[in-house]
Amino acid sequence: MSEKIKYQLEIEVKSSTKVLYNMISTPSGMSEWFADDVNIKDDIFMFIWDGSEEEAKLLTKRKGESIKFQWMEDFEEGEKTYFEIAIRVDELTNDVAVIITDFAEEDELEESKLLWRNQIETLKQTIGG
């Protein structure tokens, strides 16, 4: 398996940080834009898409700011990868942005970025931002 490359995307979202944080940090919020369904047991989130399930371990959660996960498959293989969804507010303009930090193999990098952009577009449509 080749080395995964860390990347970041910053996408502006017209929303209050409170609404946005609820959408990125709760199973009910995430099931509206990230996956078809989201369940949680202890610190393990189960994301369901078209009948397939992927589990991710909750690593950190900063109230109103960010949430960070690691896919269980990567955790079990001792990978140092994660994906984080963070909220950033520009101090001058008060513009709100979602910052995605993730890892992908080089040949899947552009596809991974496109997938995140599409997910965030769905998020924006869901919250009207």
Q: Render each residue's pLDDT in the chain as its tens digit; 129 residues.
A: 568 999 999 999 999 999 999 999 999 999 999 999 999 999 999 999 998 999 999 999 999 999 999 999 999 999 999 999 999 999 999 999 999 999 999 999 999 999 999 999 999 999 986
Superfamily of domain 4-127: START domain (3.30.530.20)
SS3 103: strand
Element (H, E) at 14: none
Task: Give the pLDDT of residue 129.
Answer: 63
Every domain of the chain and the residues it spans: 4-127
Amino acid 56 reads: A
Half-sphere exposure of 117 (CA within 13 A, CB side): 8
Note whether 27 and 38 are within 8 A (CB): yes
